[in-house]
Amino acid sequence: MKTYKIAVIPGDGTGPEVVNEGIKVLQSAAEKYKVKYEFVKFDFGGERYLRTKETLPDSAIEELKQFDAIYLGAIGHPEVKPGILEVGILLKLRFAFDQYINLRPVKLFRAEDCPLKDKTPQDIDFVVIRENTGGVYTGIGGVQQKNTEYEIATQLMIYSYQQVERCIRYAYEYTRKRNKKKLLTLVHKTNVLTYCGDLWYRVFQKVGEEYPDIKQDYNHVDACCMWLVKSPEYYDVIVTENMFGDIITDLSAMIQGGLGIAAGANINPKGISMFEPMGGSAPKYTGKNVINPLAAIYAASMMADFLGEKNIATAIEQAIQKALLSGKIKSLAAGKMGLTTSEVGDLVASLV
Ligand code: IPM
Ligand code: MN
C-alpha cells in the first residue's frame, strides 16, 4: 500500500484543533482509496519558544527532509513579539525547503458566504500564484541611527531573473493544466516599481511566447484590488510577487467566505511542500472547539493533490462542498457555525 509520511506542525492557538480535523478527514479518505498516511507531530511554535527560546533548530530541517510533505496548523502567540515566530518558523521553512510558490485557490462554495452583493459560486473561482521566497521577504535591509530624528530604515525588494522566471513558468504551466479560461494575469506595479516591475513584465511576455494557448493580461496591484471586489469573475489565474500576493490573497480570502475556508500551499515542485490554513492562531477561540476547520481540511486536500492522489484531493474538496450545501453549517465564522469544530470534521469525513 502506498504510504505517505506527513510531518505535522500543529503550532499555536487553534492550530492543533483544526489540524486534527484535517487528519481525521485524510484518514477517512485513505481507508476508502487504499493508501496510508503516517503522521508525525512536531511541537514548534510559541509555547516551545517561550519554554526554550528556540524557534526551529537546523536539526529540525534535517529531520523534516525525511517526510513527503508538511502539514501546518498556525504560528503566532500573543506573548511572543511579532516577527519572531513568523520569521523563525514559517519563513524559515519556506526558505529552507525553497518553497518558491504560494498557491491559493479562491473558490466560493455558497453564495451566502460571500460579502459581495450578487456574486455566486460561478463568479468566484480563481487561483493566485504568489512568489513565496523573494522580494521584500528576502529580508535584506537595515536601520541606521535608530531612535533619532535621522533614522533611516530600508527593506529591499530584490528579485533575480531566475526567481521571476521559475515562478512565471509555474504559473503558465498551472494555467494550462487548470484548463478553464486559460487566462493568466500578471499583477505588479510597473508604473512605480520601474525596475522590479519591468523585470516581471518582460519575463511574463518572454515566457508567454512558449504558451500561445494562454491569454495574457496585466493589472496594477491597486487596480487588481478594485477588480477583485467589483468583477472577480474576470480572473482565472493571477501571478504576482511576494508582498502584493500576501495582500491580495487576504482580500481574496474574504470574498470566498473568510479565513475559515481559505487554504494555501507553499510549494517546491520538486521538493518538500507545506500546506496550511490561511488563518492565524486565533487565541480568542483556542480550546473552545468553535474554530472552523474547513480551511485546514481544504489544505489537506491540496496536500493529497500535490502528492499525486488526485482522487483523494477531489473527494475531499467535494466533501467540503457537500457539507456546506447540506445546510448543517450555518456560517463559516468561528463560533457561528452551529456545529463544533469536531462535528464539522466528522461531517466532512463522513462525506468523502
Ligand atoms: C501568509 C502570512 C505570512 C506572510 C506571515 C505570517 C509571515 O501572512 O502566509 O500570508 O506574510 O507570508
Ligand atoms: Mn498573509
pLDDT tens string 146-181: 999 999 999 999 999 999 999 999 999 999 999 999
> Whole-angstrom Cα distance, residue 117 to residue 304?
34
Predicted confidence at residue 283, as pLDDT, reads 95
* Ligand 1 atom nearest 266 alpha carbon: 9
* Ligand 1 atom nearest 87 alpha carbon: 7
Backbone dihedral angles phi then psi of residue 232, each to the nearest 5 degrees: -60, -20
Residue nearest to atom 7 of ligand 1 (CA): 86
> Whole-angstrom Cα distance, residue 261 to residue 66?
29
Averaged pLDDT, 253-266? 98
> Whole-angstrom Cα distance, residue 236 to residue 183?
6
> Whole-angstrom Cα distance, residue 252 to residue 202?
26
> Whole-angstrom Cα distance, residue 209 to residue 341?
48
Q: How many of the other CB atoms lie within 10 Å of CB of 233?
A: 15
Give the residue carrying C-alpha cell 530541517. Answer: 61
- Ligand 2 ion: Cβ-proximal residues, 5 Å cutoff: 246
Residue nearest to atom 1 of ligand 1 (CA): 246
> Are 173 and 207 contacting, i.e. CB atoms less than 8 angstroms apart?
no
pLDDT digits (tens, 9 = 90+) for 64-82: 999 999 999 999 999 999 9
Rounded to an integer, what is the distance from CA 123 to the centroid of its chain?
Answer: 21
C-alpha cell, 337: 457555525
**Cα dihedral 105→111→117→123 (10° resolution):** 50
The closest ligand to the CA of 12 turns out to be: 1
C-alpha cell, 254: 474574504
For a ligand 1 pocket test, name from 77, 87, 90 the mutation site with the most ligand atoms within 8 angstroms of its C-beta.
90
Predicted confidence at residue 265, as pLDDT, reads 98
CA of 87 to the centre of ligand 1 (A): 9
C-alpha cell, 99: 518553497
CA of 224 to the centre of ligand 1 (A): 20
Burial (CB < 10 A; 0-12, 13-18, 19+), residue 305, is buried
Residue nearest to atom 6 of ligand 1 (CA): 86
Residue nearest to atom 11 of ligand 1 (CA): 246
Residue of 125, 224, 209, 219 whose CA lies nearest to 169: 209
Averaged pLDDT, 48-59? 96
Predicted confidence at residue 186, as pLDDT, reads 99
CA of 325 to the centre of ligand 1 (A): 30
Residue nearest to atom 10 of ligand 1 (CA): 246
pLDDT digits (tens, 9 = 90+) for 17-32: 999 999 999 999 999 9
In short, whether 297's Cβ falls inside 6 Å of ligand 1 is no
In short, whether 90's Cβ falls inside 6 Å of ligand 1 is yes
* Ligand 1 atom nearest 90 alpha carbon: 7
Give the residue carrying C-alpha cell 456545529. Answer: 339
| Domains, in order of start, for the chain | 1-100+262-352 (3.40.718.10), 125-255 (3.40.718.10)
Residue partners of 179: CB distance under 8 A and separation at least 6: none
Residue nearest to atom 5 of ligand 1 (CA): 86
In short, whether 86's Cβ falls inside 6 Å of ligand 1 is yes
CA of 268 to the centre of ligand 2 (A): 19
Residue nearest to atom 2 of ligand 1 (CA): 246
In short, whether 136's Cβ falls inside 6 Å of ligand 1 is no
pLDDT digits (tens, 9 = 90+) for 102-145: 999 999 999 999 999 999 999 999 999 999 999 999 999 999 99
* Ligand 1 atom nearest 242 alpha carbon: 12
Q: 3-state class of 164 per DSSP?
A: helix
C-alpha cell, 222: 491597486
Predicted confidence at residue 61, as pLDDT, reads 97
C-alpha cell, 150: 535621522
Quick one: DSSP state of residue 68? S
The closest ligand to the CA of 247 turns out to be: 2
Which residue type does 140 have?
A: I
pLDDT confidence tier of residue 187, bands split at 50, 70 and 90: very high
User: What is the rounded average pLDDT for all residues in the chain?
Assistant: 97
pLDDT digits (tens, 9 = 90+) for 302-341: 999 999 999 999 999 999 999 999 999 999 999 999 999 9
> Whole-angstrom Cα distance, residue 315 to residue 323?
12
Burial (CB < 10 A; 0-12, 13-18, 19+), residue 114, is buried
Predicted confidence at residue 42, as pLDDT, reads 97
* Ligand 1 atom nearest 246 alpha carbon: 10
